[in-house]
Structure 1
């Protein structure tokens, strides 16, 4: 189970570009495999076709051997006809038409034998073909013997030649050559039939091979395409879902992509961004709470300041009353001072009359004493007012 899950993960860790390159390379390999199978089938077909062509050449050579013996024997019969009609001197002359044709055919036979390519023949065919030249040599030896028999123009010689050609030694070479041609032709014909069967079998194998390889290539290409597309599309879908949730303000939806390709790195960056945003929003919320608490503290301080202002206002009223009282006291002291000055002047003026006015002086002294005592009280009150003002000044 772990190996099964780790293989797609390892595949997902490959970069997307390289992954696509591997996919296209694999598909190209499958195409090359299909092409190779097709070329193999074509090569086999071509090889069989070449073999058929070569064996067809062997058949053609066998047919040529048949044609050559028929041609030479035909000329031989015409020569016999000329000898019977015109005599041996005319019929056997080298420039006689039929005799010249036979000699030309003889020359053509040996030229043909020298040019025959036996590479396409099998061992049996080569063995049979090796008997062909001696058979032709025997045939032309017997032809020379036939010429010797008919050259004297006697009926006995002509009869001997005809009997030898029709069933004797002179005709034996004809039969040997035909037998060699038949054997080669039969063997080559069987090979052609077998090659045709092999060709049909090769065509069937090629059809099956191309069908199997083609189907396998299509299936593997489809599986590869699905695997590659899923390894890219699914992670992209998760990243897209996380981004859509982020656009709606939901920071809890994570992409959950663990690959190390471009999509994986993008998902990791998105996860980091979500964590940072959550941390930032938490910090903002904490700051907002701190600001709210500070606002409450400020409101309480503002209330205390207002109370202090009211108390200060009240104390200012007290200070104002005390100041008024001090003013009145000062005015009283000033009046007492003026009265004391008048008394002193009066004492100075009436020094002579001191004795007379002693009683009045004693009275005046008592009055002055009372006034001074009152002045002392006023001074004490002024000192208290000054202390209050000093205390208020220190509070403010």
Structure 2
């Protein structure tokens, strides 16, 4: 029937609203999860950079310790920390460059630190080792290692590494704030979507009771009265949906039954009158 608002459309709209809220909530949760993932990855990157800076310091300290041990003892085995430190430093520099990437300030600081470390290796480490190999120049090797120029290189790269560490610590503080905000957004989104879904479900329950359950109870009561022979009542039609059309149809049916009953009563009265006239004749 044209112009009616069917129950299927009402229920479909309600179900569609629930589906829309669910999709929007799921989308918001996914966005928040992505934010959490990004923040977690950034924090892990900063942590790895700080560990790499500590490895840088340890590698240089091992080289210095190995060099001093060799200059003191003259034994080749004393150079093991030095050689291990050189290899560890190369690996650490490669790892730090990959972690820092295109970040301008940390990349510049790392380049300065690497330059200072390389200068110490060339001007102090390798020069002292070369001089220490010849007994005649061994005192010169000791002088090179202890004259204080090596400390300047160490102070330079340590200062640069400390500056990078400060940058990463500031980033981690900002990342912690982002993490807290993302967790808060995830909680609000989850609980908000759940609450909104519950409200829609409660509204559907109320609507079903008002649009379907109560009208059907009225129809069942009305049909029961018809079954008992009461053709005088009419059901109130309050909507234009399927149940409203059912009520209109029942009212029309009851009206037709009432007219048929009146016709039957009139025909019966006419028959009774005719029969009485026949008996009188």
Give the TM-score normalised by structure 1. Answer: 0.62
Q: Residues 69-218 of structure 1: matches in 2 within 5 Å?
A: 69-83=60-74, 91=75, 96-99=76-79, 101-116=81-96, 117-119=98-100, 122-143=103-124, 144-147=126-129, 150=132, 151-153=134-136, 157=140, 160-164=143-147, 168-218=148-198
Root-mean-square deviation (CA), in Å?
2.7
Distance 1:253 1:73, change over 3 A: farther
How far apart are the structure 2 equivalents of 1:121 and 1:185? Answer: 16
Is 1:13 aligned to residue 12 of structure 2? no
Deviations 1:316-340 (A, max 9, x none): xxxxxxxxxxxxxxxxxxxxxxxxx
Q: Please, which runs of 5 or more residues in structure 2 have no aligned partner?
A: none
Q: Residues 1-396 of structure 1: matches in 2 within 5 Å?
A: 13-16=5-8, 18-83=9-74, 91=75, 96-99=76-79, 101-116=81-96, 117-119=98-100, 122-143=103-124, 144-147=126-129, 150=132, 151-153=134-136, 157=140, 160-164=143-147, 168-257=148-237, 259-300=239-280, 302=281
How far apart are the structure 1 equivalents of 2:85 and 2:42? Answer: 31
Deviations 1:80-104 (A, max 9, x none): 2124xxxxxxx5xxxx222354234
Distance 1:203 1:68, change over 3 A: same
How far apart are the structure 2 equivalents of 1:275 and 1:45? Answer: 69
Q: CA deviation at 1:279?
A: 0.7
Q: CA deviation at 1:35?
A: 2.8
Please say if residues 45 and 202 of structure 1, whose CA atoms lie closer than 8 Å, have aligned partners that are also in contact: yes
Please say if residues 128 and 183 of structure 1, whose CA atoms lie closer than 8 Å, have aligned partners that are also in contact: yes
Counterpart of 1:305?
none
Higher RCO (CA-CA < 8 Å; seq separation 6+): 2
Deviations 1:56-77 (A, max 9, x none): 1111211211211121111122
SS where residue 51 of structure 1 aligns? helix
Q: Please, which runs of 5 or more residues in structure 1 have no aligned partner?
A: 1-9, 84-90, 303-396
Q: CA deviation at 1:134?
A: 1.2
Deviations 1:197-223 (A, max 9, x none): 221222223222322222122112211
Please say if residues 65 and 177 of structure 1, whose CA atoms lie closer than 8 Å, have aligned partners that are also in contact: no
How far apart are the structure 2 equivalents of 1:26 and 1:218? Answer: 12
Give the TM-score normalised by structure 2. Answer: 0.85
How far apart are the structure 2 equivalents of 1:48 and 1:141? Answer: 40
